[in-house]
Amino acid sequence: MTSNILMMSGVKSLKEVDVTGKKVLIRVDFNVPMDSHNNISDDSRIRAALPTINYCIDHNACSITLVSHLGRPKGAYDERFSLKHVQKRLERLLGKRVEFVNDLEVLKSEMNQCSTERVFLLENIRFYEGEKKNDPVLSKQLGDLCDVYVNDAFGTSHRKHASTYGITEFVGTKVAGFLMMREIEAFSKALEHPIRPIALVVGGAKISSKITLLSAVIPKIDKLIIGGAMSNTFLQALGYDMRGSLYEAEFLQTAKEVLETAKAHGVNVYLPVDAVITDSIEHPVDVKVVPAQDVLEGFMAVDIGPASVKLFSEAIELSNTIIWNGPMGIYEVSQFSKGTYKIAGIIGDSYAYSIVGGGDTADAVEKAGEKENISFISTGGGASLELLEGKILPGFERLDRR
Ligand code: ADP
Ligand code: MG
């Protein structure tokens, strides 16, 4: 683990190259949470990219092209996930005009006549089928847009996509942005010489992508605390009928394997002992707290209950390093937010080195008023889990080295 983290923190940073008069392409992470009216509910990820963008503006880059994904479109245009919803906020935060472009060819011709310091925002890169396939054609198209490639999308750095990985084949100068550098430094502090015991707290709803990482992470940690929809999957795997709860039916076997791996490594696993259940998320009429094995018919588990909070808090309080990704329940609905907010408070109160990762988890910590009490808030959820696992993240792998 140590050497991989060191390898990643040895990449060249934007500060070490000259961008004056250059065409710069920055892979940012503008994958912000939005409500159903496309209002941005938390713009931290946009703010987190500002130092890198402003640096390029201040150093008179000829043009700055911002590339990001948003949500999970299926490789085709989908209005809900258009990055045009981000343009206004970005302009306001930058105090500068941002030109929205939804066509790579148009972007290329615009750029050839570029005089100075224009900022372009490309439409959601995941509308292109080639992005997730790390397609060389798309990678080259993106590479052709710039002299300097800056990866500042830590939240996506665990993905081998055209804009995070493939592009590096087609650009001479490729460096890490300030956010990437800040993130890797914080993680190396936690992971290079970790102060044990290390607790990993996982939850949230992106079950399929995260559950598959857990077995590999277990050898690096001492305790595994599981809440949120993730824990529903584990409880279902243990034979409880979780009824209408959100869980991943295809990953019950994976959940069992995670528990076996934990046992083999002597890692204690903490699962909810009780749950807040409801008959409806949007219009709850009946909300109760029941033992985790007693979810009633017609109900679903939407938060951890008070006994689980107590159990988890004891495990958390005795840890010296805490890594948290994934809310304990549907924290967006105030009735189902208690478990998440209480866990945020317990982590905030602890004296451990704490890292919170993931868009929603960071948002929840902020809403809980605990932001200042967390050692480091990472913009990466899945990426932080893969770092913990000891992997070299693809987003760092092919950048220039110092
Ligand atoms: P992050 O963005 O921090 O990586 P995820 O995206 O994996 O986290 O999960 C966050 C989402 O998980 C939130 O929208 C939350 O409402 C949802 N969630 C958590 N617990 C449950 C649950 N028990 N049932 C349904 N959704 C849940
Ligand atoms: Mg999320």
Q: What is the pLDDT along the chain (402 residues), one digit of tens a residue?
A: 458 998 999 999 999 999 999 999 999 999 998 988 999 988 989 999 999 999 999 999 999 999 999 999 999 999 999 999 999 999 999 999 999 999 999 999 888 776 667 999 999 999 999 999 999 999 999 999 999 999 999 999 999 999 999 999 999 999 999 999 999 999 998 888 889 999 999 999 999 999 999 999 999 999 999 999 999 999 999 999 999 999 999 999 999 999 999 999 999 999 999 999 999 999 999 999 999 999 999 999 999 999 999 999 999 999 999 999 999 999 999 999 999 999 999 999 999 999 999 889 999 999 999 999 999 999 898 899 999 988 999 999 999 999
Q: How many residues does the chain have?
A: 402
User: Looking at the annotation, which residues are catalytic?
Assistant: 45, 206, 359, 382
Listed by start position, the domains of the chain span: 12-179, 186-388
C-alpha to C-alpha distance for 187 and 141, rounded to whole angstroms: 33
- Regarding the beta carbon of 360 and ligand 1, being less than 6 Å apart is answered yes
E strand intervals along 155-306: 173-176, 198-202, 223-226, 268-270, 274-278, 287-291, 300-304
Q: Which ligand is nearest to the CA of 360?
A: 1
Q: CATH topology of 12-179 equal to that of 186-388? A: yes
pLDDT confidence of residue 300: 98
Q: What is the pTM of this model?
A: 0.88
Best of 360, 377, 378, 384 to mutate for ligand 1, by most ligand atoms within 8 A of CB?
360
- Which atom in ligand 1 lies closest to the alpha carbon of residue 207? 7
Cβ contacts of residue 156 below 8 Å, gap of 6+?
Answer: 27, 29, 31, 69, 164, 383, 395
Residues near 205 by beta carbon (within 8 Å), at least 6 away in sequence: 228, 229, 230, 246, 326
Task: Output the CA 332–ligand 1 centroid distance in Å.
Answer: 9
CATH topology of domain 12-179: Rossmann fold (3.40.50)
Contacts of 95 (CB under 8 A, 6+ apart): none
Measured from the Cα of 332, ligand 1's closest atom is 16
pLDDT of residue 189: 85
> Which residue's CA is minimally distant from atom 9 of ligand 1?
204
With the most atoms of ligand 1 within 8 angstroms of its CB, the residue from 202, 330, 374 to mutate is 330
Closest CA to 184 of 359, 326, 384: 384
User: Is ligand 1 within 6 A of the CB of residue 272?
Assistant: no
Question: Which pLDDT value is given to residue 2?
Answer: 57
Would you identify the CATH topology of the domain 186-388?
A: Rossmann fold (3.40.50)
Cα–Cα distance, 97 to 100 (Å, whole number): 10
366 lines ligand 1 (CB under 6 A): no
Q: What is the DSSP letter of 34?
A: B
Atom of ligand 1 nearest to the CA of 333: 16
Q: Is residue 305 lining ligand 1, measured as CB closer than 6 Å?
A: no
Buried-exposed string 152-163: b where 16+ CB fall within 10 A, e elsewhere: bbbbbbbbebbb
Rounded Cα gap, residues 272 and 243, in angstroms? 16
Cα–Cα distance for residue pair 371/351, rounded to 1 Å: 14
